[in-house]
Amino acid sequence: MKSKVKVAINGFGTIGKRIAIAVNKQDDMIVSGIVKKKPDYNALYAIRAGIDIYTISDKDMETFRKKGIEVRGTINDLIKESDIVVDATPDGVGETYKELYKTNGINSIFQGGEEASIADISFNSLCNYDEAYGKKSIRVVSCNTTGLLRSICTLNQVSKIEKINAVLIRRGADPQEIKKGPINSIVLNPVNLPSHHALDVKSVIPWINISTAAVVVPTTLMHVHHVTIRFKDKIIKNDIIDALMQAPRIILLDTKLSDIQSTAQIIDAARLVKERGDVNELVVFKDSISIDENEVQFFQAVHQESIVVPENIDAIRASLEISSKYDSISQTDKKLGINKILY
């Protein structure tokens, strides 16, 4: 039996801890350890989960030990014991570790908070898995970009896309971020158009013609997008619905059947059947799908805390040339309980 791939995870916050849980659910990989900067409640969770903790420096090790938290070593020790590292540090911090990974000759996965130039390729499982195969460094794009790419690459198979316009209504902060986000305001983000999300989409599929705009609202649960896609040819609504129904990692939500009409209800429903109420799927509101000749518009919802997790698992396999595209997607989704019948 082949030994499991040893995955180091640098950062154990919103995304890092979810990636760690997802890695340990797979048959072909295991978390070799995580890198933590602070001895907080997430560190205690790691201990309870049987995950070894490493720190940035020897000084940080002493801080942990004073709190009664045992540390195995530093990030340098962890890298030597691992086959690949997933960098889940805060936005912009991954750049400071790029040279460390390169010097140690270890493959690396970065997150969408980093600039596209940090890695050999920006990644989405449905769009460019094959192009990422064997790449030394891969950047998994942001939650919003992941959501956009899933619907775009799915619907481009129905008919050739000519133009996309998307308005993103973004959550103000993740639930645990008590010092962030607007309280009584809708913030233009950014004021200048288009927003950066269009460029991020093009970092994965450079051929697409897309414009995006974004606002930030005082909620913590999910993002919502209003997407308008113009196709080269006239389209049929049932073709759009069938494509979304058959695509991996997309839930086509029928509000009439489920009586779900809000992000709060999506998360509440997910909590009944899924770990922490995570929604790894993109949620497209079926009743919002509207067709006008060669144009479709619809609403979709993105759970910012978890949608990129399966992409990270696939990126590990792509980088290390472990599995083909749909084999990896199938393995990941089965182990994470990603399906079409949540609602």
Structure tokens at 81: 């014991």
CA torsion, points 172, 175, 178, 179, in degrees to nearest 10?
Answer: -30
8-state DSSP, 331: H
Tokens of 237: 């609504």
Alpha carbon distances (Å) from 272 to 109, 176, 267, 277, 278: 31, 21, 9, 7, 10
Question: Looking at 23, 85, 143, 313, which residue is catalytic?
Answer: 143
The question of whether 143 is a catalytic residue gets the answer: yes
259: left (phi over 0), alpha (psi -120 to 50) or beta: left
How many Å apart are CA 132 and CA 116, to the nearest integer?
A: 14
Secondary structure of residue 82 in the 3-state scheme? coil
Non-local (6+) Cβ contacts of 272 within 8 A are none
Residues acting as catalytic residues = 143
